[in-house]
Chains A and B, each alone.
Chain A
């Protein structure tokens, strides 16, 4: 890198702190860290630092704070909003916790695990499983994303309905603040009412307030019995009623309740090899649901079958299949999990990751679908997502025969139409994936002045010189 505005002395001091192997500074090796995986953002930095200890993180941050050099924290770089990608000015440094990846403690009685920020999510899941516990955070990027990134984006995933999002799974944090100080908030407590819950500030902050170097996370009993069903529902309202019945009859054992539209399933069946509709006929809406219990037995299966058969008698569902083995359950889940890839293969698409109260989803969908059709005729609605969380991926695929670029040029208008309807339902325009760079402007249209003002004042209080991931979120 020639044109870099990070002072050479800062880079030298950083190299000294972390030593050989603790940084990457040649452009070939840096390249993969400078790009968002969907190729929407590219950045430039003179150095990527990979500290091995919290002390090194603190020292690096202190050096940057002194010199006024901004830092972009990066985890697995799987985030979808460009939050972990630096700007292209070359004036920032990247800091990755990849080497800060120890499991510090597992306490099965306290049902907690204490891990460092660079631990890969799937390694935390395995560590929990080794003591017969479940760490329930689970998403398709789990083999690459890191706990620090998961907490910073307040990641959701497939088990939010039952266990909550990353925010609900954290009991304590250790954070390196923008001035280099270390805040040790690694408490392993479920009850602590001693003032503001500071950890929640850093969770979901997307690296704008500090660097999460370790966390205490909650564990749960391992599931021993799982039931999975794929269901053709009459409509979205009937799907919501089914969820309610399922929760009541199973004693709240529903892990996931996913909505899949026929267009979404069609994309999968068309573009993904070795997939087939598990039902004999096609239907406008499907639900994929999983329930689990920590003891083996028939109770869950009976609850599921009884719920389905009464819904069938009422005409709320048309058809359903129940997996008879975990393998069949996985095959059903593959249909759901391959929707994003099928969308990619299908071509241009305009995406929305929205949430509204579950009771309003049916109304929202009806209104939003009519409005987008009025905006772009024959646009294909590929709706799917976490119905049980009120979170729908309201994605729009290019009308058949329309030029992809012409369609993508309507993106801003379509976003606006959809987001305004979301707001009118008191919903969120970014339910899961955060703000990053992508939605920084747009959130201002949907959050009140008071909310934005409080957020900005918090940012200034914690990071007065705006050195932590500037230009993201706030």
Chain B
């Protein structure tokens, strides 16, 4: 069984994001980048499927500029067998990525494709669902547990007030949630091995995919700054402030 896993290069989750002065987006130059944390969870899960003998091959895919090779090397160092870079400098929106991934799925014929439930840069939470629709496959989103057998995929999702367990008929699109697993560190021997693993490159045109953006960003702004709190000296003062200043009671 082949498993495909999609990885996106994003600003590292611990970087303080700055909005560009012209409000067209966030500052990306000279900023530390890393693999989208949910995709890291996806790679970990795929590698575990391989280690448990369920998967025979794990293929990592990324779409974006040549810099995404670094992200793919990380996936290879974590244990993916090979990688595919869909190389383009165009801005990629979720629908374009879903189309690219569909084209790769058509070539590779995996039984399962794992994606992050969302990328922490645009937080769209859309690519997995769009891909499932384009492929006509079953989808399990926001999964916190995964069991795969030959002809069945069982997933658990965290929902309000409990856990929901679903059975899917493969092939399936699965998107990962935070608690699915704890991604491993890349070990030195695996980093060295990863340097020898192949990364194939294609361009969207070769896949017959039009990646032209469909959405126009009007403006990106910082959220309003939170003002400092004040200490009140009595319950009476608190009630007065809530009534007269905040207007909430």
Contact = CB atoms under 8 A, between A and B. Distances in A.
Given A324-B186, A326-B14, A309 B30 contact: no
A328 interface: yes
A305 B186 CA distance: 11
Contact of B74 (A230, A317, A324): A324
Interface in A64-107: none
Given A298-B70, A305-B191, A330-B14, A322 B33 contact: no
Nearest to B28: A296
A197 interface: no
A282 interface: no
Contacts of B192: 305, 309
Nearest to B29: A296
Interface in B6-25: 12-16
Contact of B12 (A230, A309, A312, A325): A325
Nearest to A295: B30
A225 interface: yes
A36 B56 CA distance: 60
Given A296-B30, A296-B31, A327 B13 contact: yes
Contacts of B37: 325, 327
Nearest to B78: A324
B34 A325 contact: yes
Contacts of A330: 14
A330 B15 CA distance: 13
Contacts of B32: 224-226, 296, 326
Report, as a range, how many residues of chain A touch the other chain. 20 to 34
Contacts of B185: 230, 278, 321-324, 328, 332
B109 to A, nearest CB: 29
A308 B192 CA distance: 10
Interface in A119-178: 129
Given A298-B70, A309-B192, A326 B34 contact: yes
A226 B14 CA distance: 12
Given A225-B32, A325-B34, A312 B13 contact: no
B226 to A, nearest CB: 16
A320 interface: yes
Contacts of A129: 16
B40 interface: yes
Nearest to B13: A327
Interface string B180-198: 0001011111011000000
B47 to A, nearest CB: 13
A321 B35 CA distance: 17
A126 to B, nearest CB: 10
A11 to B, nearest CB: 28
A233 to B, nearest CB: 12
A319 interface: yes
A320 B13 contact: no
Contacts of A328: 183, 185
A312 B188 contact: yes
A325 B34 CA distance: 6
A242 B122 CA distance: 41
Contacts of A320: 187-188
A309 B31 contact: no
Contact of B186 (A225, A280, A321): A321
B13 A326 contact: yes
Contacts of A278: 185
Contact of A319 (B13, B30, B33, B188): B188
A322 B34 CA distance: 13
A238 to B, nearest CB: 15
Contacts of A280: 187
B30 A224 contact: yes
Contact of B188 (A225, A308, A324): A308
Nearest to B14: A326
Contacts of B78: 324
Contacts of B70: 298
A322 B186 contact: yes
Given A296-B30, A296-B32, A327 B14 contact: yes
A332 B14 CA distance: 15
A325 B35 contact: yes
Given A224-B30, A327-B13, A330-B14, A322 B191 contact: yes
A474 to B, nearest CB: 43
A324 B191 CA distance: 11
Contacts of A309: 188, 191-192
A205 to B, nearest CB: 36
Contacts of A225: 32
Nearest to B34: A325
Nearest to A309: B192
A322 B77 CA distance: 10
A225 B185 CA distance: 18
A327 B12 CA distance: 8
A312 B37 CA distance: 29
Contacts of B186: 321-322, 324
A326 B189 CA distance: 21
A298 B70 CA distance: 8
A319 B190 CA distance: 10
Given A324-B186, A325-B37, 4 more contacts: A225-B32, A309-B192, A319-B189, A326-B14
The 5 A-B pairs of least Cβ separation, nearest first, read A321-B185, A326-B14, A320-B188, A325-B34, A296-B30
16 contacts: A224-B32, A295-B30, A296-B30, A305-B192, A308-B188, A309-B192, A320-B187, A320-B188, A321-B188, A322-B188, A322-B191, A324-B34, A326-B13, A327-B13, A327-B14, A332-B185
Interface of A: 129, 224-226, 230, 278-280, 295-296, 298, 305, 308-309, 312, 317, 319-328, 330, 332
